Amino acid sequence: MNPLFERPLAIVDLETTGADPHRDRITEVAIVRVEGGVEVERWSSLVDPEMPIPRRIQEFTGISNEMVAGAPNFRALADEIAQRLAGAVFVAHNARFDYNFLRAAFAQRQIAFDPPVLCTVKLSRALYPEHARHGLDAIVERHGYAVENRHRAMTDADLVWQFMQEAAGLFDHDRLLLALRRAGSEGAAVPRLPEGDLEALPEAPGVYLLFGAGGQLLQCGRSNHLRSKVLGLFTGRGDAKSVKLSAQVRRVETEFTAGDLDSQLRELALLRRHVPEKHPSRSLGWRFIPNRRRPPVLEECELHGSDPCEWGDVFGTFRGQREADNTLRELVLLHRLCPQRVGLENGRGACQAYGLKRCDGVCVDAERPEIHDARLLRALASLAPRAWPWAGPVAIAELHEESGRAATHVFDQWCHLGTARDEAALEGLLSEAPSRKFDLEIARLLQRWLMQPGHAMAVRPLPQRVV
């Protein structure tokens, strides 16, 4: 594995109202998530800073007060951003700037934020010492990257991602490892565990749980190389997070798995067992109510545990109310929809968006409901649940040859029907005709896994009659 990509990365860029994290506020955030050297997710959002954006900043970033009006504030996005950053190295160009802004913003929500950090300005200096300038503009010019909308968050995050990919291909392992030591912050102390715990850790795929003296779960994670992963949590430069973890850990539990997908499914199950409040089992969607004169014309429907084949016309799959509402607000802003009619506002008469000239006036009879709703349906079409790529159920087999551990996972319509450890268990699983029960976290987990190179080739379609 290339040293740059041994751990998950969250490549982050922020746009702000200024340079002081205690006085200024975030106006846009972008995150490119990289796992195993492959981009698995990209996400961005405008953020209402709840303060005017100075004109010089508007001209510099292209983000105006009008653009952020109606966007979610950071409080509404904090949990989602924290979840997207979880378990990853925080990567940014001039990382201190972005890190300090997020740390200050998270502190207002009392959310702990202390990830390992990789600054790509420092990485560039370490890899290209012959150059004097290492700002993003200098890197763009030096490497000839094509750029549109410079100083927008996703554009700049993508430039950092391009730079890292190029560096990974140009420099050898030892050179990259040395550059990483100069550019990042890592953990440092070896945990004081009971004798034999570290030696017992397997160098194989699996999941690990770190417990404190009182039996409380401190951390749960997964790796294809458990021993290296757990030791790597504590070895490095000695940042505050690693020192604190080292002092607390008293017991390590591990479970062998057959491969990466097996590990991810077990990790989710363990997290739900030990910290269910942080991993709620809920997912929401919307249904459009046709020919309805009075608002709202959208109704929420609970999707968790249901059969996707029985959904009908459902739009969106969301972790909860906040994610659903934030997505709907974006659609309202982009498509001049009425917040009252879609259910984001209560009351009668003109909605707030109409007063700001962002609604075409269905709320005051200035637009016919059928015209508004046709536009709403076109907007919702982009949120149609991802189609299942196969005609019926599929099996995904994993085998770790050294340990001999095997697992066959059966899925249908993004639902996990079960995992069998041998042929007899698989035969029993298929003969019992398990029902489809939708779980959004598992669906997204599987979708990310299938995006990895070569993974789709491991999928074996099953006869539709067996499930």
Q: Catalytic residues, which ones?
A: 151
Q: Which residues pair with 256 in a beta bridge?
A: 206
Contacting residues for 126 by C-beta, under 8 A, at least 6 apart: 178, 179, 182, 183
CA distance 123 to 138: 14
User: Cβ distance 140 to 159 under 8 Å?
Assistant: yes
CA distance 85 to 386: 24
Contacting residues for 392 by C-beta, under 8 A, at least 6 apart: 412, 461, 462, 463, 464, 467
Q: Where are the beta strands (DSSP E) in 324-404?
A: 394-400
CA distance 22 to 35: 32
One-letter amino acid of 433:
A
Considering only CA atoms, give the Rg of the chain.
24
Before 290, cis peptide (omega within 30)?
Answer: no
CA distances from 147 to 39, 57, 152, 290, 350 (A): 19, 20, 11, 43, 41
**DSSP secondary structure letter of residue 87:** T
One-letter amino acid of 209:
L
One-letter amino acid of 446:
L
Phi and psi at residue 167, in whole multiples of 5°?
-60, -40
Which residue bears the tokens 């846009």? Answer: 28
Q: Where are the alpha helices (DSSP H) in 86-172?
A: 95-108, 120-127, 136-143, 153-170
User: Which uninterrupted H or E stretch holds 459?
Assistant: strand 459-461
Query: Tokens representing 38?
Result: 């492959």
Query: Tokens representing 124?
Result: 């560039």
User: Cβ distance 243 to 204 under 8 Å?
Assistant: no
CA distance 95 to 67: 26
CA distance 98 to 157: 11
Residue 153: closest CA among 62, 28, 68: 28
